[in-house]
Amino acid sequence: MAELGTRLKEARMAKGYSLEDLQEITKIQKRYLSAIEEGNFSVMPGAFYVRAFIKQYAEAVDLDADEILETYKSEIPANKAAEAAATTSTAIQQPKGGTNQRTAQPTTKIKQTTQTQRKMTDLMPKIAVAVVVVVVIAVIWFLANHQSKNNDVTDDVNQEQTQADTSANEVDTSKEQQVKDQAAEEKAAKEKAAAEEKAAKEQAAKEKAAKEKKKAGKLSKGTDAGDGATTKYTLTNTKNFKVRVEMTGENWVGITTTAGANLATGKMYSNGQKLEFDAKDQQSIRIRLGAAAAGKVFVNNKEVKLLVPASSRPTQNIVIEMK
């Protein structure tokens, strides 16, 4: 690394700038900044840009640009356009066989006639005009060339910036799509898990209902006993014989054997109360409802449908025989 590049890089690092930061500040492409630090000026657009970029670099890191250019001028390529203009100017002002050569000639050859001197005097304004014209042409050529290269550099910077922006947008779009895809996958997985859980619960409920139904057995349709108060039912296909009476109003309820022995002493119950009795050791039972409209009878959790409506028979006996 050249001394110039080392000094500039140290100044940049002292400021805490990366090459990307310096590119943003100076608008000079990162590859040119890196080339300056490495002393690799061959990648530059031209000698003019070398000096211009070094000056911008130095100013960006708070160095004296003029002092830098002067101190390290031996490392910096010369501006060929300016040298060419100077050479052209010198060539015009010093024609072939110039003053020094004529001075070295013998005195006898230097002397000329008055007429020759007058011709030379007449030619001087023309030579001066020619010099001015050449200089103007050189300046115009230099400025045009400089503007063209500057436009090329600007175009390169704009193109690279556009490509960088496009790449960044593509990356952002890709990440956004990935996030959306991941969210969709997670949602689908949750919905699938919820559906499987629901299906499992429904299956469990069906199995439970089947077991309950099997435990409940089969209760026949009631038959009227002919006494104007009693309905008989038959319970089959089960070993369970659980009775429950739920009150929907005030009601007198009692449970006895068919022989009349008390299994659940009859008494008044209020709305919302329950009478539960396990009759597994009984062959048959009788449930007495003082107000048939104010009580619901269940056997093994299955409601017993009244054969005669409560409106037609307010007080009813329900006899259930297990077979």
Q: Domain limits of the chain?
A: 3-71, 219-322
3-state helix, strand, coil in the chain (%, to 5): 55, 15, 25
Q: Is the pLDDT of residue 212 over 50?
A: yes
Among 62, 71, 56, 48, CA closest to 11: 62
| Tokens of residue 115, six digits | 């007429």
Q: Which one-letter DSSP state was computed for residue 315?
A: S
Tens digits of per-residue pLDDT, 73-123?
A: 999 887 655 444 444 444 434 444 444 433 334 444 434 544 555 566 567
Q: Which of 32-41, 79-88, 105-114, 187-196 has the lowest mean pLDDT?
A: 105-114
Across the strands, what pairs with 229?
Answer: none
Helix boundaries (H) for 113-250: 114-216
Rounded-to-integer distance, Cα 218 and Cα 235, Å: 6
Q: What is the average per-residue pLDDT within 304-310?
A: 94
**Hunting for tokens 């070993």 — which residue is that?**
239
Q: Is the pLDDT of residue 163 over 90?
A: no
How crowded is residue 195: how many other Cβ atoms within 10 Å of its Cβ?
10
Across the strands, what pairs with 236?
Answer: 218
Q: What is the percentage of the chain residues whose pLDDT exceeds 90?
A: 57
Q: Is the pLDDT of residue 316 over 80?
A: yes
- Cβ(241)–Cβ(278) under 8 Å? yes
pLDDT value for 101: 39
Backbone angles phi, psi at 97, to 5 degrees: 75, 50
Could you give the angle at the alpha carbon of 46 between the alpha carbons of 44 and 51, nearest 5°? 85
| Average pLDDT along the chain | 83
Higher pLDDT, 137 or 81: 137
Q: Hey, is 297 helix, strand or coil? A: strand
Q: Is the pLDDT of residue 224 over 60?
A: yes
Q: What's the Cα-to-Cα distance from 146 to each of 23, 82, 83, 258, rounded to whole Å?
A: 21, 12, 15, 123
Rounded-to-integer distance, Cα 65 and Cα 57, Å: 8
Helix/strand/coil (H/E/C) assignment for every residue in 262-275: EEEEEEEECCCCEE
Q: What is the average per-residue pLDDT within 117-145?
A: 72
Q: What is the average per-residue pLDDT within 63-69?
A: 95
Rounded-to-integer distance, Cα 135 and Cα 126, Å: 14
Q: What is the average per-residue pLDDT within 283-301?
A: 96
pLDDT value for 121: 58
Rounded-to-integer distance, Cα 29 and Cα 39, Å: 15
Q: What is the CATH number of domain 3-71?
A: 1.10.260.40
pLDDT value for 200: 82
H or E segment to which residue 102 belongs:
helix 99-104
Higher pLDDT, 82 or 24: 24
| Tokens of residue 74, six digits | 């031996």
| Tokens of residue 234, six digits | 């038959």
Could you give the angle at the alpha carbon of 296 between the alpha carbons of 293 and 300, nearest 5°? 160
pTM for the model stands at 0.38
Higher pLDDT, 8 or 209: 8
**Hunting for tokens 């910036």 — which residue is that?**
161
How crowded is residue 134: how many other Cβ atoms within 10 Å of its Cβ?
15
Backbone angles phi, psi at 122, to 5 degrees: -65, -30
Q: Is the pLDDT of residue 193 over 50?
A: yes
131 falls in which pLDDT band (50, 70, 90)?
confident
pLDDT value for 153: 60
Burial 227-250 (b: 16+ CB within 10 A, else e): eebbbbbbbeebebbbbbbbbeee
Could you give the angle at the alpha carbon of 168 between the alpha carbons of 165 and 173, nearest 5°? 125
Higher pLDDT, 224 or 2: 224
Tens digits of per-residue pLDDT, 48-59?
A: 899 999 999 999
Rank 26-35, 141-150, 184-193 by mean pLDDT and report only the highest. 26-35
Q: Is the pLDDT of residue 4 over 90?
A: yes
